[in-house]
Chain A
Amino acid sequence: MPGKLKVKIVAAQDLPVMDRASELTDAFVEIKFGNTTYKTDVYRKSLNPQWNSEWFRFEVDDEDLQDEPLQIRVLDHDTYSAHDAIGKVYIDLDPLLSKENTSVFSGWFPIYDTMHGIRGNLNIIVKVDLFTDFNKFRQSSCGVKFFCTSRVPEGHLVQAILGFVEELVVNDDPEYQWIDKIRSMRASNEARQVQFSKLSGQLQRKIGLKVLELGGNSVIGYQQYFDLEGESGIVVRAIGTAVRLARLFQPLPSPPLASPGQECLSAPDQGVRSRTSSGCLTAPSACTPPVSPLSGSVCRYPLTSRLSSHRASVPCIAVTTATPSPSCHSPFVGSSFVLPEDGIVANSSPTTTAVHCTKLSSSPIKTAMPLVRRSSDSDIDLPPKGGSLSGSSGSGNAPIKPPMLRAAVPQQQSIEMLEYPFFTFDLFPAGFVVHLGGVVSARSVKLLDRIHNPDEPETRDTWWMELRTEIRSHARAMGCHAVVGYRERTTICDEIIVLSACGTAAAVNLQMAPPKTSTLLTASLDRTMFDKEQLTVKKEKHKLFVDINLANQASRSHFTTATADGVNIEDARPRINCRLSHIPYKENSLPFPVQLSKCAICQRSKVPDILFTTIERPPELPVIGKGCFIQARLCRPKKETHGETNAKEISDALPFMEYELHSQLISKLKLKGMNSLFGLQVHITVGECMIVAVATATAVYLASLPPPPLPKVLAKDDKSDVSNNHLLKLNKRITEVVAKNKERYGIHPPEQLSMLFESSPRGQQTDDSDEEPVSELELSAGNKDTFVLEVDDAEDVELVSTLIDPLPPVGFDVCNTEMMPGVPHVVCNLQMFSQVWRGRLGSVSNRSFSQVCDNIIRSLFFKLRAMTPCCLNHLSFDVDLPENDEIQVSLTGMCLGVGEPPITVPSTVPITGHQQDTHRQGRGEELLFHMELHTDSAAPGHTKDQLTPQQFSRNYQMCSSSFANRVFLFQNEQRYCTGVLLTPLSSIPGGHIQNYLGHFNFFIIRESTSVREEGGLNGFMHCFLAEVMAICRAHVAALGGNALVAYQMTECILDESLHKNQSQCLVNVCGDVVHVIYDAGLSQAPSSDAVDSNLHPAGRRRVSPLRVLCHLTGTS
C-alpha cells in the first residue's frame, strides 16, 4: 500500500440550473479512484455550493496511482429518479508522484461534460503521500519524469543519455464494444476517456520501468500517440529518450580545466576520416535512396516485395542531388507484390537486422559511442525478444576514441550498444551532434487485424520493430550511427494503417553525456561545462535579449571560451559551428547522388549542396538571413478499394509521392534562395479515395553550404508545346522571385565568408591531414550553378508557377521550428492558436489542395494582423481525411511578438557583453564574423524587410503606426503574459522556466446532439477547442504553474452526422506544466488576477465585486 491519496471538495461555482422550477441545483460530488467511491453531502438549492468536505482518503498501490485517473463527478441529487450528471473532472495524478514536484493539486477545475461542455467550476484539493518502495520487482515507476519538451529541460543537466525507449499498449475501444449499443452517449464517451487515460497512465508506467532499468530518471522528447484502430481497438504507443537528469540550480563559474568534451568532439570526426570502411560502402547500396535514378530496379521502393511484407519505405528524402532525372520514375518495376497477411513474415526483418549488426561491427563510426545495447521489449515480465540481436552486435565497441575516464556501470557491460540509437528530441546540447547526414524515413502499409491478446501486442511491436530497423539501416547507409529528431506516426483509414518513422541521420557524440556513474561529481566535467555553457547562453538569450544571431554568436564564443580555457589552442576547433554540416559519409561512397563542395566557412571539409533535417537548427550552425516556412503538398486520387488491393495501391503510390514531395521541396527551397531545411515533417494521410501528403519545414540559408543555384526552366525537347516566349517569361519571373525572396529574407552571403575565418590565427591544420585532395571533387562542380526545372507542356508550366509561394505580408515571419532563424528580439508571447479548417476540395489535385493550404495560411495572417510585427513559430499542420471528398486541416502555432528590446535594457548590452567576452578570450574574430554578416545584410539597400535591429525597429514603428487606428482592446496588456500561457515551444522567450511541475496528457471527447443549436459545426468546434484550452490551463494553475510548454494538440478527429444533428470530436492534448519567471522589463507584473491565482489557487477566481470595483475606480 505505498500510497495515500487524499481529496477534498471545497466548492463549486456557476453550476447549471438543473431544476427548472426553482432555477437551482442540489449538487453533490462523487469521488472515484479505482474501485472506491466516496460522496459528499448534497448541497441543496444553490448554483454555488460550498461543501468544504472532509478529506476523502484512498489507500492505493502506486501502480494504480500511475495508471488510474482520479474521477470526480458532480451530480444533481434527485429524490425520485436517477441523479442527473452535471459533469466530471479527471485528474492525472502522475505529476504528484515525483518527489521534486509539489504533491498538491489545488484549484478550480472546469466541470466538463462530454455532452454539454464546461458547466461551472469545481474547487478541489488533491494530495498524494507516497511511501517509497524499493522492491526490486515492483511494477510501478513513480518518480520518473516525463518531458514532452524536445530538448534538455531548462535548468537541468543531462548526466547520461541512455537511449531510446518505446512501449505500446493495446486495448479495446469502448466505443466499439457491444455494450455501446445500449448505453448512453455520455456513458460511452466517459468510458472512453477513462480508458484512454488509463492506457496512457499504464504506458507511462511501463516506459518509466524501462527508464529505471536503464538507470535513468527521466524521459525527454516523450511522444505519445493514440491509434484509434476502430474495431481492432486502441493502440497507445510512446517513444522517448531515457536520460538521467539532474537539476542545475545555478551555473558554477567555469573551471579552467581540460575539457574532455573538446577531445571527444573531434574524435569521431577523425574516425570518420581516417577509415573508409567497406561496410559503409555496401550499406548504401542495400538501400539506395528513392531519388536516385541510378539504382534502377534495385531501388528501395519495391521494398514491399523484397521484404515480402507490404512495406513501402523511403530511406531518405534526404540530402540529395538537385538534378533529379525523370528516369527515376521507372524503378518501380512490376514488383511481385506479396499479399499482406495477418502474420507478418517475421523473419525478414530479423535477418536484415542481423545484417546490419554485422555491418555495424565493421564500421568504426558508431563505436565512438559508449552505447547501451538494450532490447526494445525488455519488459520485466517478458524475456527480451531482441536477444538474438544483441549477440551479433557484441563486437561493436572497439573504441577508436581515446579512452575516457569512465566508471564501470553494470548495465553497460552487459549490453554495449543501443539497439536503436534514436533520439527523440530536436535541440541538443552543444557538441552532441557531430555531423548531420540527412533525413531518413521509412513507411509501411499494414492491414489491421483484431488484436487477440491485448497483453501481447506482438504484431504491432513487430511492425514498429521492422520500421525502426529499417531506419537504422538507412542511417548507417549515410555513414551515421544515430538518428536524431526521431518521430513515428500513423494514419489509419478503415483497415489500412500506414506507419511512418522519420528522423535525421547524424553522427553523435554520446561522450557528451558522461559516463553513467551515479554521482554527479564523478560525471565527467565536460558535461557540466557544456551544460553550463548552454545555460549561460540561454540565460543570455533571455536576459539580455540577444537576438538569435547574437545568440549563435554567444554559443560559439562560449565554445571558444571553453576551448581556450581548457584545451590547447592547436586542438581547439573553434569552428565547431560548420562541422555539423560536413558530410558524415565518404566522398567516394556517397549514399545517394549529392554534389559536394567545400565548406564555405572552413574551406576544408566537404558539405552537401542541400541539407534536410528533422531537428531544430543547432545554434552552432550559422545562418545568413532569416528562415522561412516551406511546405510541399500533394493530393492524389486513389481507387476506392478494400483490403489487400487497397494496401497494395497505397504502398505503390507512396514512393511516388515521396519523390514528388521531395522535388517540390527542393524546387521551393531553390526559389527561396536557401539551401537547408530544418524541422522537416512529412505527414501522409490516407483517405477513402485520396492520399494526401504534406511536408512542412523551415528553410534557411546555412552559411557553410554553397549558395543554391538559380532555378531555370527548360523545355525538355524542342517539340514541346511550350513556346520559347513563354519560357523566357517564366524564367524571368523566377529570377525575380528569387531576388525578391533573397531581399525579403535577407540572404546576402558575403563573398568572402571564408576569408573572415582564414584571417583568424589558428593552428587548425592538424586535423585536416587526412583530407583528400580537393581535385576529385571539382568534377561534380560542373553543373553546379543551375538547377533545372523541366517542363513539357503548359500544365507543367502551371505547375512551376504553383511552386512560387507568395511572400508572407510585411511584419510576419513564419517557421515550423521552435526558433525562427535570424529573427531579432522576441519581445513577448502573444498568442497560441489552433485553427481547424474542413471542407471539400475543388478537385482531387495537388493544385486545389495546395490552394486550400495557402488560403489557410493567408487567412492566418489576416486573423493575426493586429499582432504584427510578429513571428509565427512552430506552425504544425495536421491533415485528416474524414469523408470521401473532404479534408480537414488542423493547424497550431505560436505567435511571438518581435520588435525592439524594451528600453529598460539597453540594446547595447548584449554586444558589449560579448565584446568583453571576446576580449577576455582574445578572440575577436567570431564577433567580427557576425558583425560582418549584419552589416552585410543591411547594406544592400534599405529595404524595410531587412533584419538589422535598427531597420527592424523602423519596420516595427511603421507597422504599429499603421495599426494605431485599429489597435485591439488593450493590446498593450495582451502583449505581456498574464494568466496561463500555452505554447508549443519548449522554452519561453522573455522568461525562463523555473520549475517543471509535471507532464500533462489528456484525451478529451465532446459530443453533441444539438449541433444546430450550438451554432453549427463551427460553433461546436470553436467551443470545444476553447474548452480544451481551458481544461489545460486549469490543470496548469492547479499545479502551481503558469505555463504549459511543448503544448500539442493531436488526433483532432471530428465526426459528424448533421442530418441527425450530431457530432463528435476527439482531441489529445499534452505538454509540460512549468512555472515561468518572466524577465523584468519584458513582462510587467502579471495582472492582479493572475497574481491571485498563483498565490491562492484555492481561493482564486472568487473575484469579489468590491475588488473589481477597486479596479474600476482605479482606472477611471
Chain B
Amino acid sequence: MDHVDIFVGNNTMVNPELYKLWLNGYTAPEAAQVQQKRGILHEYGATYEMLLSDTLDHFRTFFMLERFLKNPPSMGEQLVFQIAATTQRSLIHEYYQFDATVIREILSKKLSSRFRNALDDVSDRTRVSLRSCRRQFDNVKRVFKTVEEMPGSLVDNITSYFLLSTQLAQQYAAIVFIVNNRFEIGKKKLAYLTFGDLVHCANEMIATWSNSAKDSKDHEDVEVDLNRDFLHDLRDVKVLADKEILDEHKFIVMRRLQGKLTPVAMADLDNNFKSLSKALVNIACGLNHSKELRDFFLDLVEKVIEPCRQAGWSSREIHTFLFVYKDTSTALEVFSRHGPALRMVWDRYMNTTVSCLMKIYHT
C-alpha cells in the first residue's frame, strides 16, 4: 500500500521558494534536490526523506490551490484553506507571472489546443519546462477567454477578474489585444521582436486606437477591438500618397531636417523618402482591413524598418526623421484643405506608429 505522510496546518503557509519551483514545473523530487543542493539539509540536520515529505506537502497544497488560482476571485471566497490576504495576493501574482520568451513564442501562434500539445517545442527553445509553458499558455488563454468580450477597460477587467497588479494586468491587456487582433508576429522577420516591444506597441495602440481610447466615442465597446470610426477615417490619409503632395511633403521635410541629419542620411532620405512615406500611408489606409491590420508589424518592419536599417540609420536619426515627418502635416496644404479632422486622425495614427517604430527599431 501507499505510504502516507502528510502534514496539514490550520493556516496555510506558503514557502515562496517552493512555490516558485512548483510554478517552474519542478516535480517534488526535483524540487527537493534543488533545495538539497542549496544545503538545506545540512542547515537543519534533516534527511532527504524529510525534505521530500515537506516538499510533497507543499506541492499537494499548491495542487489543491490551483483550482482557485485559476479563478482568483474564488481564492477569497473559498473556505478550504485559511490563507492570509497578502499571501493570497502574492500567490495569485506569482501564478500569473510568465517568461517573456515563452509568451513571445505563444503569441506567434494561435491559442489552439493543438498548439498547447505542441508546447514542447516552445519549451525546448526557451528552456522553460513544459509544465511551466503549459501554465503560461493556459493563463493567457484563460485571461483572453474571460475578458475577450467584456466591455470596458481591458486593464480594469483583468485586475478585477484576476486580481493582478496594474503592471501585470497591463501586460496581459497587451497579450489579449495581440491575440484578439491576431497580429501576425510569427514570421521569421519578426522573430527579433521581443515581448517587451510587443507590449509597448499594443499598449500604445490600446491607449490611442482602441474603443476606449480618449479620442474614441463609444468607450463602452469592447476594448480589445480597434475603433472602427478611426480606422475608417484613416483611409482619408490616402491623399498623402498623391504625387504632388508627396513632393511637397518631401520638400518640407528635407528642408526642416537640414542640419539635423548627417549628409549621408540626408542623401539616403532623398532617395527613399517617397517609398517610406508611401509605406506609412499605405499601412494607415490598410488598417481598415483586418487582413492588413494583422500584418501591421510585418509591414512596419518590411517597409520602414528594413530600408532604414539597410541605410544604416541610427535610431536617433530615424527618430528625428519621423518626428519631422509627422509634424510637417501642419504645414501641408492638404491638411488645411481637409480641415482639422484629417489632421487629428493623422496625428493619432502617427503618434502611435512612431512610438511603435522607435520601439521595434533595434540597431
Q: Which residues of A contact B (CB under 8 A)?
A: 13-14, 108-110, 118, 121, 809, 830-840, 855, 858-863, 865-866, 883, 886, 888, 966, 968-971, 973-974, 978-982, 1015-1019, 1021-1023, 1025-1027, 1029-1030, 1033-1034, 1054, 1056, 1058, 1087-1089, 1101-1103, 1105-1106, 1108-1109, 1111-1113, 1115-1116
Q: Is B57 touching A1112 in the complex (CB atoms < 8 A)? A: no
Flag if B57 contacts A863 (CB, 8 Å).
Answer: yes
State the Cβ distance, A350 to closest chain B Cβ, in Å.
Answer: 46
Q: Is the CB of A1023 within 8 A of B85?
A: no
- 30 CB < 8 A contacts A-B: A13-B77, A121-B79, A832-B9, A834-B7, A835-B7, A837-B6, A838-B4, A839-B5, A859-B50, A859-B53, A883-B1, A886-B1, A888-B4, A968-B15, A969-B19, A970-B90, A974-B11, A981-B10, A982-B10, A1017-B2, A1017-B4, A1021-B4, A1022-B57, A1023-B60, A1026-B12, A1026-B61, A1030-B81, A1056-B2, A1088-B85, A1101-B79
Which of these, A110, A966, A1056, A1109, contacts B160 with CB under 8 Å? A1109
B60 contacts A862, CB within 8 Å?
Answer: no
Complex alpha-carbon distance, A118 and B64, angstroms: 12
Say how far A1038's CB is from chain B's closest CB, in angstroms: 11
Q: Select one of A886, A1023, A1030, A1106 contacting B79, CB under 8 A.
A: A1030
Q: Collect the chain A residues with CB atoms within 8 Å of residue B82's CB.
A: 979-980, 1029-1030, 1033
A1101-B79, A1115-B89 given; name 14 further pairs at CB < 8 Å. A118-B80, A830-B11, A836-B5, A837-B4, A859-B5, A862-B44, A865-B44, A970-B90, A974-B87, A1029-B82, A1033-B10, A1087-B84, A1087-B85, A1108-B76
A982 and B91 CA atoms in complex are apart in Å by 23
Asked if B351 is at the interface (CB within 8 A of a chain A CB), the reply is: no
> Are B160 and A969 in contact, CB atoms less than 8 angstroms apart?
no
Chain A residues with CB under 8 Å of B46's CB are 858-859, 862
Pairwise interchain contact B13-A968, C-beta atoms closer than 8 A:
yes
Which B residues lie within 8 Å of A979 (CB)?
11, 82, 84
The listed residue with most A CB atoms (<10 A of its CB), out of B2, B57, B63, B76, is B2
- Check A863–B80 contact: CB distance below 8 A: no
> Please, which residue of chain B has its CB at the minimum distance from the CB of A837?
B5
User: Binary interface profile of B, 13-33, with partner A (CB < 8 Å = 1, else 0)?
Assistant: 111110100000000000000
Nearest B residue to A894 by beta-carbon distance? B10
B114 beta carbon closer than 8 Å to chain A? no
> Considering only CB atoms and an 8 Å cut-off, how many residues of chain B contact the other chain?
56
* Residues of B contacting A831 in the complex (Cβ-Cβ under 8 angstroms): 9-11, 13
Nearest-Cβ distance from residue A123 to partner chain B, whole angstroms: 11
Closest Cβ of chain A: how far from B114's Cβ, in Å? Answer: 22
**Chain A to chain B: the 10 pairs with minimum beta-carbon distance, closest first:** A1105-B160, A1103-B76, A838-B4, A1017-B2, A1025-B8, A832-B10, A859-B50, A982-B10, A862-B46, A839-B3
A1102 neighbours in B (Cβ, 8 Å) = 77
B206 at the interface (CB under 8 A from A): no
Instruction: Among A883, A1016, A1088, find the residue whose CB has the most chain B CB atoms closer than 10 A.
Output: A1016
In Å, the complex CA distance between A567 and B156 comes to 74
| A1112-B93 Cα distance, complex, nearest whole Å | 10
A residues less than 8 Å from B8 (CB atoms)? 833-835, 1022, 1025-1026, 1029
In this assembly, does B163 line the interface, its C-beta being within 8 Å of a C-beta of chain A? yes
Nearest-neighbour CB distance to chain A for B160, whole angstroms, equals 3
Q: From known contacts A862-B46, A970-B87, infer whether A1018 and B79 are also in contact, taking CB-CB under 8 Å.
A: no
A-contact 0/1 string along B58-93, CB 8 Å cutoff: 001101100000000110111111101111011100
Whether A862 contacts B76 by the Cβ 8 Å rule is no
B residues contacting A by CB (< 8 A) are 1-17, 19, 44-47, 49-51, 53-54, 56-57, 60-61, 63-64, 73-74, 76-82, 84-87, 89-91, 159-161, 163-166
- In this complex, what residue of A is CB-closest to B159? A1109
Contact across chains for A866 and B15 when beta carbons are under 8 A apart? yes
Residues on B with beta carbons closer than 8 Å to the beta carbon of A1113: 166
User: Which chain A residues lie closer than 8 Å to B60 at the CB level?
Assistant: 1015, 1018-1019, 1022-1023
Q: Which residue in chain B gives the minimum CB-CB distance to A1088?
A: B85
Residues in A neighbouring B1, C-beta threshold 8 A: 883, 886, 1017, 1056, 1058
Which residues from chain A contact B53 at a C-beta distance below 8 Å?
859, 863
Residues of A within 8 A of B78 (CB): 14, 121
How many whole Å from B42's CB to the nearest CB in chain A?
A: 12
The docked-state distance in angstroms from the alpha carbon of A402 to that of B3 is 63
| Chain A residues near B11 (CB-CB < 8 A) | 830-832, 974, 979
CA distance A838 to B74 in the complex (A): 33
Structural contact, A809 and B45, CB atoms closer than 8 A:
yes
A108 with B79: CB separation less than 8 A: yes
A1111 to B16, Cβ gap below 8 A? no
A974 to B7, alpha carbons, bound, how many Å? 18
Shortest beta-carbon distance from B66 to chain A in Å: 12
Q: Which of the residues B51, B63, B73 comes within 8 Å of A1015, measured between beta carbons?
A: B63
Measured CA separation A831–B12 after assembly (Å): 9
On whether A969 and B14 interact (CB within 8 A), knowing A978-B84, A1058-B2, the answer reads yes
A592 to B44, CA, bound (A): 45
A862-B50, A1088-B85, A1089-B85 known; A1018-B2 Cβ under 8 A? yes
B64 contacts across to A, CB distance below 8 A: 1022-1023, 1026
Chain A min CB distance to B205 (Å): 24
* Nearest-Cβ distance from residue B329 to partner chain A, whole angstroms: 39
Across-interface contacts of A1027 in B (CB, < 8 A): 80
Give Cα A1103 to B85, complex, Å: 11
Closest Cβ of chain A to B348, distance in Å, is: 30
Contact of B4 among A970, A974, A1054, A1105 (CB under 8 A): A1054
- Are A862 and B87 touching (Cβ within 8 A)? no
Which of A862, A973, A1019, A1109 is close to B51, meaning CB atoms less than 8 Å apart?
A862
In the complex, which of the residues A14, A973, A1115 has the most CB atoms of chain B within 10 Å of its own CB atom? A14
Minimal beta-carbon separation of B261 from chain A (angstroms): 43
Supposing A833-B9, A858-B50, A1108-B163 touch, asked if A1103 and B44 sit within 8 A by C-beta, the answer is no
Task: Write out the residue numbers on chain B whose beta carbons fall within 8 Å of the beta carbon of A866.
Answer: 13, 15
CA distance A1106 to B56 in the complex (A): 35
Q: Which of B10, B54, B166 contacts A863 (CB 8 A)?
A: B54
Q: In the assembled complex, how far is the CB of residue A13 from the closest CB belonging to chain B, in whole angstroms?
A: 6
A858 and B5 alpha carbons, distance in the complex (Å): 13
Q: Is the CB of A1105 within 8 A of B73?
A: yes
Task: Name which of B49, B80, B166 has the most chain A CB atoms within 10 A of its CB.
Answer: B80
**Which residue of B is nearest A836, CB measured?**
B6
Closest to A832 in B: B10
Name the CB-closest residue of B to A838. B4
Of the listed residues B4, B7, B50, B85, the one surrounded by the most CB atoms of chain A closer than 10 A to its CB is: B4
Note all chain B residues with C-beta closer than 8 A to A1109: 159-160, 163
Cross-chain contact A835 with B85 (CB below 8 angstroms):
no
Name the CB-closest residue of B to A1032: B10
Cβ contact within 8 Å between B85 and A969: no
B16 to chain A: which residues have CB within 8 Å?
A: 968-969
Q: Which residue of B lies closest to A13 (CB)?
A: B77
- The distance in angstroms between the C-alpha atoms of A1111 and B166, with both chains bound, is 12
Task: Return chain A residues, CB-CB under 8 Å to B90.
Answer: 969-970
| Closest chain A residue, CB of each to CB of B17 | A966
**Complex CA distance for A318 and B338, rounded to whole angstroms:** 106
A1029 to B63, CA, bound (A): 18
> Chain B nearest CB: distance from A761 CB in Å?
51
Whether A859 contacts B54 by the Cβ 8 Å rule is yes
Closest to B78 in A: A14
Which residues of the other chain, A, contact B61 by a CB distance below 8 angstroms? Answer: 1022, 1026
Within the assembled complex, what's the spacing in Å between the Cα atoms of A263 and B63? 63
Contact A974 B44 (CB under 8 A): no
Known: A837-B4, A969-B16, A970-B90. A1026 touches B81 (CB 8 A): yes
CB distance from B120 to the nearest CB of A (A): 24
Residue of A833, A865, A1054 near B7 (CB, 8 A) is A833
Q: Whole-angstrom distance between the alpha carbons of A756 and B12 in the complex?
A: 49
CB nearest neighbor in B for A882: B1
Task: Write the nearest CB–CB distance from A1028 to chain B, whole angstroms.
Answer: 9
Quote the shortest CB–CB distance from A888 to chain B (angstroms): 7
